Amino acid sequence: MTPQRKSLAKRLVGTNTLWIALVLLLLIAVFGALRPDAVLTVFTLQTTLVETSVLLVLAVGMTFVIITSGIDLSVGSVLVFSGVTSAMTMNSLNGGDATNAGWGVVVVGLLVALASGAAWGLLNGLLIAKAKIPPLIVTLGSFGAALGAGQLISNGSNVSGVPNVLSNNLGTGTTFGVPNLVILAAVVTALGALLLGTTRFGRHTYAIGSNEEAARRVGIGVTRHLMAVYLLAGVLAGLAGFMAMAYFRVASVTGHDTDNLNAIAGVVLGGTSLFGGAGSIVGTIFGVFIPAVLRKGFVIVGVNVYWQPIAVAIVLVAAVWFDQSRRKARDRS
Amino acid sequence: MQAAEGGGVVRERGVAVADPLLDARDLVKHYGGVEALRGASFTAYAGEVVSLIGDNGAGKSTLVKCLSGVERPDSGTVAFDGRPVELDSPVAARALGIETVFQDLAVAPDLDPAANLFLGRELRKPGVLGWLGVLDKKEMRRRAIGSFDDLGVTLQSIDVPIGSLSGGQRQSVAVARSVVWASKLVFMDEPTAALGVVQRERVLDVIRRVRDQGMAVVLISHNMPEVLAVSDRVEVLRLGKRVARFRAADTTVEELVGAMTGALSQEDAG
Ligand SMILES: Nc1ncnc2c1ncn2[C@@H]1O[C@H](COP(=O)(O)OP(=O)(O)OP(=O)(O)O)[C@@H](O)[C@H]1O
Ligand SMILES: [Mg+2]
């Protein structure tokens, strides 16, 4: 008997992604019905998108990490560290205040942000893949250390003097009405989706998360691959730091304590399994927007915003429970 | 008792006049305080099915892991095709044309059967896309379907995670993966343990086909009638050491069981 492919529709119904997309649409529809005037305006849409862009970039890296059955608690702190090193480098290149600096300085700033993220990612990867320390512990350590290092360098205060050309273009500029920040996040997300979904790198990411020992036995370089995945998460956190700095016109050392949890929540809501081996970037997009839409929606329809984290928590726990029971039903032996 | 001394009987039979394809000698492997292999030797000739039998915990799986590059023995030597080799990684074993069905299967349960078949050897698209690492999923799926068809693996669907298949189907996929890629030698560590009657016969047929192509097949099984039905030779492991070697045609279940339990021992078997 020749095995058949399932129809596209059947394959779609089998995925968590479809369900999470429906939840998101349902939320938008409900809020839209309650306050059609406010919810569906371009402005609401745009601010929601902009505010979610930075988180989305973090969540793309987090998706790779969680699919390997790892976790990265350090992303928010690495974001802070990268923003601080980047802003301070730009300032020092421009006599202490980079506000009026040109593109050359901005490019150096970007490279410093990416390199800072890469350094932390590499450190995480080394400790996790080579020294075999559990990712939860390693990244809990770098979560504290990266924030501490950032605050040490900046003397505990926010770093201002972000170049205007950066803030006016990447931070708040638009192209054909679409915020540039959103475009950048979309490009990163698309590249991440292609890398995960169509390449050998992506395939090996799933394989390692599904059965690390099996991956090793078929000759996949598990250690190297895990290091690359944590490096990727670090670089993306560095980029997110650069984006946040461009948007807020300051490299902030506060307000990012829960970025890691928000990114993890988005990834898991999007159907990526905390047990590893399964998930997608497309799911992560939906997953990241659910908390954002809830928050915006609650504000608009006048529900106390403190309900938002509670609502997110309920959806999150339900999503994990759903995933867990599906797995139990599936892995019969 | 008509045991094969050294390998002389085999040579006499004329199936493998040449030197052994695989010749492992005096392998020792410790796991902490446990001595899983205590100077185990093992020989396989091209074009034969050789069964490796022994009681639970005798060290069969450990020996297979050492000979497929998954574990490194503490001491001992391995020769392959007449040359000493260092099986220091699964890649090294694969490069020699050695494939293995591990007792725990070593498949990725979240990936589909085609992805598992090509795991670690993914086909890439031609041209720039391939250079960028883009997979040729369609071609892999096509070839996988062909291989499964060819080997009599029955699957209803090609794109379900392998973890949702039955234990027997999963085992069949692992067997298919080993024989598709092997060019010299296949280790099968209890490949029929979870199989029904029909599937078991299919796997035994596959084993004979692989042997007839000139490869060596090493079968580990606790099912003595199956061992006698499919093997040319049998080597017996007890407490981490080879204790006997037989020609399958000249032995009986009683004799094999005797050798496994230690009721019977053969000199000059190590
Ligand atoms: N990873 C390991 N860590 C510790 N001890 C091990 C490990 N693998 C095997 N052993 C021990 O080595 C010995 C041989 O085990 P092995 O799995 O090779 O036996 P086996 O002959 O394959 O048995 P079975 O027929 O039950 O599969 C056993 O005592 C086992 O407990
Ligand atoms: Mg075993």
CB atoms within 10 A of CB B183: 13
Residue in B15, B78, B81 with CA at minimum distance from that of residue B47? B15
CATH number at residue A98: 1.10.3470
Is B108 close to A215, i.e. CB distance below 8 A?
yes
pTM, whole model, 2 decimals? 0.91
Which of B165, B181, B197 lies at the terminal end of a domain, its last residue? B181
Whether B4 has a pLDDT exceeding 60, the answer reads: no
ipTM score here?
0.88
Same domain? For B92 and B133 the reply is: no
Same domain? For B58 and B163 the reply is: no
Cβ(B104) – ligand 1 distance below 6 Å: no
Same domain? For B174 and B201 the reply is: no
Is residue B77 within a helix (H) or strand (E), and if so which, with residue range? strand B75-80
Is B107 close to A200, i.e. CB distance below 8 A?
no
Handedness of CA B173, B178, B179, B181 (dihedral sign): positive
Residues A143 and A76 sit within 8 Å (Cβ to Cβ) = yes
> Which of A85-94, A120-129, A318-327, B92-101 shows the lowest per-residue confidence on average (mean pLDDT)?
A318-327
Ligand 1 nearest atom to the CA of residue B35, by list position:
12
Whether A1 has a pLDDT exceeding 80, the answer reads: no
Residues B270 and B41 sit within 8 Å (Cβ to Cβ) = yes
- In sequence order, the 6+-apart residues with CB closer than 8 A to the CB of B83 are none
Using CA positions, which residue lies closest to atom 5 of ligand 1? B31
Q: Mean pLDDT, to the nearest integer, of B227-245?
A: 94
Closest-CA residue of B relative to A200 is: B133
CATH number at residue B208: 3.40.50.300
Per the structure, the count of domains in chain A is 1
Q: Give a yes or no: residue A161 inside a domain.
A: yes
Same domain? For B174 and B203 the reply is: no
Alpha carbon distance B60, B73 (integer Å): 13
Question: How far does the centroid of ligand 2 lie from the alpha carbon of residue B106, in Å?
Answer: 13
B92 has a chain A CB within 8 A of its CB: no
Q: Give a yes or no: residue A12 inside a domain.
A: no
Predicted confidence (pLDDT) per residue in A178-208, tens digit: 899 999 999 999 999 999 999 999 999 999 9
Cβ(B59) – ligand 1 distance below 6 Å: yes
- pLDDT, residue A219, reads 92
- In sequence order, the 6+-apart residues with CB closer than 8 A to the CB of B173 are B107, B113, B116, B117, B148, B153, B155, B162, B165
**Angle at which helices B167-181 and B137-151 cross, to 10°:** 100
Same domain? For B76 and B188 the reply is: yes
Question: In chain A, which residues have their Cβ closer than 8 Å to the Cβ of B111?
Answer: 203, 206-207, 210, 277
Q: Which ligand approaches the C-alpha of residue B36 most closely? A: 1
Residue in A269, A284, A177 with CA at minimum distance from that of residue A233? A284
DSSP A126-182: IIIIIS---HHHHHHHHHHHHHHHHHHHTTTS-B----HHHIIIIIT-EETTEEHHH
Domain around B39: 1-97+184-270
Q: Which ligand approaches the C-alpha of residue B32 most closely? A: 1
